[in-house]
Structure 1
């Protein structure tokens, strides 16, 4: 695992420094060059929480990943540069699902002049480091917010058009056993939304592009716009053009993608 290979993958040039500007550049570079995607889950391939596995897949293999892989690799790279990173047990949509959500997300903070929340694993989450202070933060075309909860919990509130509206975390070291159990559940249980739906997201300079099943979606300052993909070839072309994913075996997913769309929305 070589740090320079990761920096090349995310388009980072120059020598990284231990400052907020570098941290922000690396976060943005990761988000714009490495897509969030769950194709391995859809293909029934095991996914781990090990950064070494994420490196092989996303740096060497040119793929993307989901939160455990994205933030796992990101945290590894930041530590190699010299940043002080805390890995934490996160909980996406704990506001709606309660404590059963704890462990469905790996979250990170970095200590500089103060702690900063950094995240590349929510798909369409924050695009810049956020000081660990209550308040609203403008990030390009959208506004996000941090809220302090009871019992040491914090809540990140995503922008209003986001796929995941929030995640919670406590600033304490991650429970790796819980994260591993949740990682296994999310990729194997029929009730998991990651088992049910193909999802890819990638940050663009002025928005986010998403592929959810057979719907290609653009979200930016103008709102949200959908484009229906009608054929497996169109789906493969979207994966390659928008997310840089060229995976021939993904073509075999089209029947289940089309079937899932019909279950949710009826015949097209």
Structure 2
């Protein structure tokens, strides 16, 4: 796994609002996880814009350092490099997300992470770490079977039914997918994930190829911008807001999702907005 330089670590921590390096403890891991999901949105906009980024550890770290984000391979890849560089024992796993209407599977279309830590009794504990899911857990989850409340969403950790000794993260019924299954075997590199990324980012059969989607989690709120529809799920339920003006859409992208499109020219932003608005208008024709 890629080991970041001291300068890269400092820049990454600055990007997610963490003031200083601390020893690799559970409390610091929780702080890092929350800051990562708060400041770095999960997004398909680069795929939608036909500007997909590479998923190597170093490339994903540089993506973060240059004001960008990505989807699971980028976000979990960069975060695993950060944790490794801070002294955590982090492991990579093959995983598979179960969309609504599909069966559970482990197909390496998701990069899973775990962290091993010693507790106060010097016993080894395993934590599920995932900053690369669309409406992600806000904090790490112990790899112990049970239900975990992270308002406004609830998660369940259970045994996987698709692989021996694997585990499953069951998502909140109100969330965007059913769950994700993880294989127990530790993966040493990203090679098996590269063809999956190529399909996701370049194939017309990819679910993300023609879908503008960006998601972000905060302590008590989950946000999603799908095309021109901004969904906010919080303590008071779900609120939907239609963004049909370019200035408003760009403002929400930057202020809510932390995505100011720093590597997009004015012309590229205009073209991106036109495609999003055109798709939105077609969608309205169907449902009006």
Same-fold call, TM > 0.5? yes
CA–CA separation in structure 1 for the residues paired with 2:148 and 2:258: 30
How far does residue 55 in structure 1 lie from its aligned partner after superposition? 1.8
Match of 2:223 in 1: 209
How far does residue 63 in structure 1 lie from its aligned partner after superposition? 1.4
CA–CA separation in structure 1 for the residues paired with 2:235 and 2:205: 33
How far does residue 136 in structure 1 lie from its aligned partner after superposition? 0.4
Match of 2:153 in 1: 142
How far does residue 263 in structure 1 lie from its aligned partner after superposition? 4.4
CA–CA separation in structure 2 for the residues paired with 1:250 and 1:92: 31
TM-score between both structures, scaled by the size of structure 1: 0.92
Moved over 6 A (4+): none
- Select which of 191, 194, 204 maps to 1:180: 194
- Tell whether 2:33 aligns with 1:31: no
Is the 2:157–2:170 Cα contact (8 Å) retained in structure 1? yes
Match of 1:104 in 2: 109
Match of 1:93 in 2: 98
Q: In 2 relative to 1, CA 251–96 (structure 1 residues): closer, same or farther, beyond 3 Å?
A: same
Match of 1:259 in 2: 278
How far does residue 236 in structure 1 lie from its aligned partner after superposition? 1.5
Is the 2:94–2:106 Cα contact (8 Å) retained in structure 1? no
CA–CA separation in structure 2 for the residues paired with 1:169 and 1:100: 9
How far does residue 191 in structure 1 lie from its aligned partner after superposition? 2.5
Q: Which moved more, 1:94-103 or 1:171-180?
A: 94-103
How far does residue 101 in structure 1 lie from its aligned partner after superposition? 5.9
Match of 1:171 in 2: 184
1:150-180 per-residue CA deviation (whole Å, 9 max, x = no partner) reads 4233211122222223111112123733311
CA–CA separation in structure 2 for the residues paired with 1:63 and 1:176: 20
SS of residue paired to 1:243? coil
- Select which of 185, 193, 199 maps to 2:213: 199
How far does residue 15 in structure 1 lie from its aligned partner after superposition? 3.3
CA–CA separation in structure 1 for the residues paired with 2:47 and 2:281: 20
CA–CA separation in structure 1 for the residues paired with 2:224 and 2:90: 29
CA–CA separation in structure 2 for the residues paired with 1:132 and 1:231: 44
| Equivalent residue runs for 1:61-100 within 5 Å | 61-93=66-98, 96-98=101-103
Match of 2:25 in 1: 19
Give 1 or 2: higher helix fraction.
Answer: 1
How far does residue 42 in structure 1 lie from its aligned partner after superposition? 1.2
How far does residue 258 in structure 1 lie from its aligned partner after superposition? 2.7
- Tell whether 2:39 aligns with 1:48: no
Match of 2:260 in 1: 246
CA–CA separation in structure 2 for the residues paired with 1:6 and 1:223: 33
TM-score between both structures, scaled by the size of structure 2: 0.86
CA–CA separation in structure 2 for the residues paired with 1:82 and 1:203: 26
Is the 2:215–2:225 Cα contact (8 Å) retained in structure 1? yes
Specify every segment of 5 or more residues in structure 2 that has no aligned partner in the other structure, as ranges.
118-123
How far does residue 250 in structure 1 lie from its aligned partner after superposition? 3.0
**Number of residue-to-residue matches in the alignment:** 267
- Tell whether 2:251 aligns with 1:237: yes
CA–CA separation in structure 1 for the residues paired with 2:271 and 2:227: 13
